[in-house]
């Protein structure tokens, strides 16, 4: 993973994109992100932070697009990124994208694969692909409407407009906005708290919400009931209930 730094501290995996100057997404970087996400699926990892500096990821490497037009490049760059974003989304533990600078195009699509997005106050996000005569190809037209609604997502994708951190917070694209100096600490502090929580229950919540989206209420309730039954048999459920009855603090094991 030459273009990604991967560390684990306090059961939190930190995935840091490192392709200066703007973390433009090429085939190698996408593959390295995918490898890091795969490592983060390990049971000893209980939360994930994905980030990059000074920019999260300013979009795809456009020079690769030109090579694809000429028949010499990777024509499935978007498909490869889409698979990585889905892998991030499917991790059965809480995930936070800590966004510095630009998260545009594929970079923003990657961030939308995380459960939460924390933005530096000077960050900017958007789907500017339309300005190149193309469209988002790694989930932008699908995840964005689920976050901000049909009309807002349509407008963002049709205009390519970038939005700042405060507007992103208002729209629900950002879960927290802090100064750039505080971003890393804010993301890691919350990730550590998640890592000390009931990991199996977090996974069940993620599955219930994802699988229940777009199905009937009746089917959604069936999904929830099955997940509840599964979690009720975990060691953490016993720990949580016992701690509540003893008026103490649960020491969850993640199992």
DSSP conformation letters of 122-135: T-EEE-GGGGGT--
Pick the CATH number of 199-245 from 1.10.12, 3.30.1490, 2.30.30, 1.10.3210: 1.10.12
Residue the block writes with tokens 């407009």: 161
CA distance 74 to 87: 20
Please give the pLDDT value at position 59. 86
Residues forming CATH 3.90.226.10 domain(s) in the chain: 4-195
pLDDT digits (tens, 9 = 90+) for 89-122: 999 999 999 999 999 999 999 999 999 999 999 9
What average pLDDT score do residues 192-207 get?
A: 95
Pick the CATH number of 4-195 from 3.40.640.10, 3.90.226.10, 1.10.20.140, 3.30.420.40: 3.90.226.10
Residues forming CATH 1.10.12 domain(s) in the chain: 199-245
Enumerate the β-bridge partners of residue 117.
97
| Residue 181 CB neighbours (<10 A) | 9
Which pLDDT band, with edges at 50, 70 and 90, does 77 fall under? confident
List the catalytic residues: 109, 129
Whether 67 shows a pLDDT value over 70: the answer reads: no
With contact defined as beta carbons under 8 Å apart, do 158 and 132 qualify? no
pLDDT digits (tens, 9 = 90+) for 27-62: 999 999 999 999 999 999 999 999 998 999 998 877
């Amino acid at each position: 993973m030459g273009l990604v730094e991967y560390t684990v501290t306090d059961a939190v995996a930190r995935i840091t994109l490192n392709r200066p100057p703007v973390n433009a997404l090429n085939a190698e970087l996408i593959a390295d992100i995918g490898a890091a996400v795969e490592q983060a699926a390990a049971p000893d990892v209980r939360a994930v932070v994905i980030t990059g500096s000074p920019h999260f990821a300013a979009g795809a490497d456009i020079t690769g697009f030109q090579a694809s037009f000429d028949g010499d490049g990777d024509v499935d760059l978007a498909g490869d990124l889409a698979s990585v974003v889905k892998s991030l989304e499917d991790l059965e533990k809480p995930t936070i994208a800590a966004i510095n600078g630009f998260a545009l195009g594929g970079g923003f699509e990657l961030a939308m694969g995380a459960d939460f997005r924390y933005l530096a106050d000077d960050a900017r996000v958007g789907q500017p692909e339309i300005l190149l005569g193309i469209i988002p190809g790694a989930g932008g037209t699908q995840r964005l409407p689920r976050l901000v609604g049909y009309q807002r997502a349509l407008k963002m994708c049709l205009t390519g407009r970038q939005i700042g951190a405060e507007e992103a917070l208002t729209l629900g694209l950002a879960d927290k906005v802090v100064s750039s100096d505080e971003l890393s600490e804010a993301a890691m502090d919350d990730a550590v708290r998640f890592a000390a929580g009931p990991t199996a229950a977090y996974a069940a919540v993620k599955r219930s919400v994802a699988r229940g989206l777009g199905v009937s209420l009746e089917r959604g309730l069936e999904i929830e009931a099955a997940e509840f039954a599964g979690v009720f048999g975990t060691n953490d459920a016993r720990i949580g209930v016992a701690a509540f009855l003893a008026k103490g603090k649960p020491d969850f094991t993640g199992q």
